[in-house]
Amino acid sequence: MTPSPVGQETVRVDGRLKVTGTAQYSGDYPAANMSHAYLVTSTIARGTVSHIDTAAALDAPGVLRVYTAGDTRLSLYPVVAQFRSLVESYIPLSDTAVRFHGQAIAMVVAESFEQARDAAALVTVTYDEQTPRASFADEPREPAGPALDGSPSSVQHLAPGVNSIDEALDASEVVVEAEYGQQTQHQIGMEPHSVLAVWDGDQVTVYSGAQIPTVHSLLLSQRLGVLPTQVRLVGRYVGGGFGSRVILWSDAPLAAAAARELGRPVKLTFTREQMFTLVGHRQQASQHVRLGASRGGVLEAISHRTDSVMPVIGGFNLTPAHATSDTFYSTPNLHIEVRSVRLDMPLSRAMRAPNEAAGAFALETAMDELAVATGVDPVELRLRNYATVSPSTGLPWSSKHLDECYRDGARRFGWSDRSATPRARVDGQWLYGTGMATAAYPAGVHPVSVRIRLLDDDTAVVSTATSDLGTGGWTMVAVVGADALGIPVGRVTPEIGDSALPSGAPAVGSSATHSTVPVVVAAARNTIAALKELAVTHSGSPWHGLNAEGLRWEEGRLHGGEHSMTFGELLTELGSRGVDATADSPGGAPEEYEYNSFGAHFCEVRVNRFTGETRVTRFTTVADAGRVINARAARSQIVGGVVFGIGHALLEHNPIEPATGRLAASTLADYLVPVNADIPDIDVHLLDRPDPHLTGPLGDEGEEVGTRSLGARGLGEIGTVGSAAAVGNAVFNATGTRIRRLPITPDKLL
């Protein structure tokens, strides 16, 4: 019997291609007669372009075109209102308005990248400059728009007889109140955004990384003013997204429009510095948290107010409390409020665990402060406030084993050896401390379509236009397809990352896996049924004329009567190259539950008492993310998320210059991210408990169909949620100094 690959240590099916350099990323695709584009960006944050001198650039060697702000040759158009949240709020190079420092205001196209770059440096620009709105402290606060799920920005639930959250807090025996802050953060995937646009008549193929390929191709068709059927987007390998490739930015429209006008392929690659201003960021925020509790640490009230930047040109509405304070703990009184500060900054967008990472730092630091104030152990404090239903909706969780995460994590980490007294453990120059925090992340289910084709060489092709950002999507599709068909993974070829394929799950919100799994199972069921139908209707089949229900599928073979054949043998016998079928899901899950993944982080740090240098020395994460599809990739995703959290805690920030509106650390020399030397071995344990309410297709009699992989939930982002707080809480335990504004740098500890 072929063992199920689900939950095993499956090597990535695309691994060899990547490590040998064979995998083609967006910037690797060739094209005959290809030209290269380079952007000129603004050096002011607010105003208009009064004049652009392009004469020297046009005279430079190899230059083919210089497109400038207000240029009509590109012929770009607005998208319909339904999709405006998935594009920039203005059409690139359509007018002379400057909305932020680093905006594209001209584009040079030349025979080579170097010629385009050098010519771009010859473009000179004169501005009518205005003073930018660039001070977070000085601009007014205004009510924010709705959260990502459409819920209002302000939410309040009060116990009977309680008139206000202030009244609930005043009645609490212990109150913790503090302000928590963070600066602008960036996704900065390893692969810069790169686009190659190739026209063939009125059809354009765009090679570009995208987290939602089918939506990107649709949006691009609207920007170009052509039919959706005229645009194909290919992005099979993507070097990181983290939210930066969710919406359609200026790169694909500009490259495709220039290629159309020029009559030859155009490649446009953002520089690393341009990546900091042209593809989104997580905005600066300040969070005011108040916790009211009994002396025994039982929560009686949570108030969580956020002030965050909303760029004047629009962007992602940061709502950190909505997925943390209304999710993590049970409380009879809850108040959430979100306000915006309007600044002249680049468009903000989702960044890995967009609301949850920021919100968890504030809430979980406040919970650690409550543990200190009440004298209750931080793990015990969380167990005393364990939420068995959603605090805001009152609905039960579809599956929750967070208490097990706490206990397993504490045991694996050695939490019982911890001293609650700061500065209790000293080794020479180093102060050691430990901290922990909770993680939770929603598990949304998106519409998906999957096609499976069985071929006459006994292999199968599983096709769906999801995207693999380096997260393991290729292997996930292969593993689930192999499990559903009962054949080895090596006999399954996944096809993803192409808008021409059946519409796939968005690679956003840690949702691609659990949205895709049940539809692959359904497609396998339909394809097997199609093969059986072929077997009983084709005159050359040994089962011709029989009832298809009398045939049995097992491990890639059809059995019936005295005959048994693999699907490849049958197809060869019938002279057929293959048989296929599709399955579709509208998305969504039963509305009587709330769907989340959960986890617990445990961290040890050492802090140099003379220099303030902080090093993470141990880290343990236990996660409850439903059924694990690929154990190797799952652990890798958790590790990557924790690395994000460590960077969030100790290194990452990009302050805005109030006088100029410039993001001051927009290079990898100035914007620091963790490297190998900053990260210890990270211990990851996955509970592997299937979610019974995220099951997928069932048979006519209610039985599971064809797989043991049902009940998967997302885990790509949960490692990021709470890990920064675990680091910060460990720093407090080591030093006795509470740092409430990230990052935790040496100057704040001295």
- What amino acid positions are annotated as catalytic residues? 717
Rounded to whole angstroms, what are the CA distances from 364 to 174, 393, 746? 17, 21, 22
DSSP class of residue 630 equals: B
Task: Report residue 108 as tokens.
Answer: 């040079």
Task: Report residue 273 as tokens.
Answer: 């510095």
Task: Report residue 394 as tokens.
Answer: 């009152």
What CA–CA distance (Å, rounded) separates 565 from 572?
11
Radius of gyration of the chain (CA): 27
What CA–CA distance (Å, rounded) separates 18 from 23?
5
From the list 422, 9, 35, the residue with the least C-alpha distance to 196 is 35
Task: Report residue 116 as tokens.
Answer: 């385009």
From the list 99, 101, 74, the residue with the least C-alpha distance to 88 is 99
The DSSP code sequence of 216-249 is: HHHHHHHHHTS-GGGEEEE-SB-S--TTTTSSB-
Do residues 211 and 508 make contact, with C-beta atoms less than 8 angstroms apart?
yes
What CA–CA distance (Å, rounded) separates 24 from 17?
9
Do residues 568 and 593 make contact, with C-beta atoms less than 8 angstroms apart?
no
Do residues 322 and 401 make contact, with C-beta atoms less than 8 angstroms apart?
no
Q: Give the burial string for 88-125 (b: 16+ CB within 10 Å, else e).
A: bebbbbeebebbbbbbbbbbbbbeebebbebbbebbeb
- Tell me the three state secondary structure of residue 616: strand
- Tell me the three state secondary structure of residue 91: coil
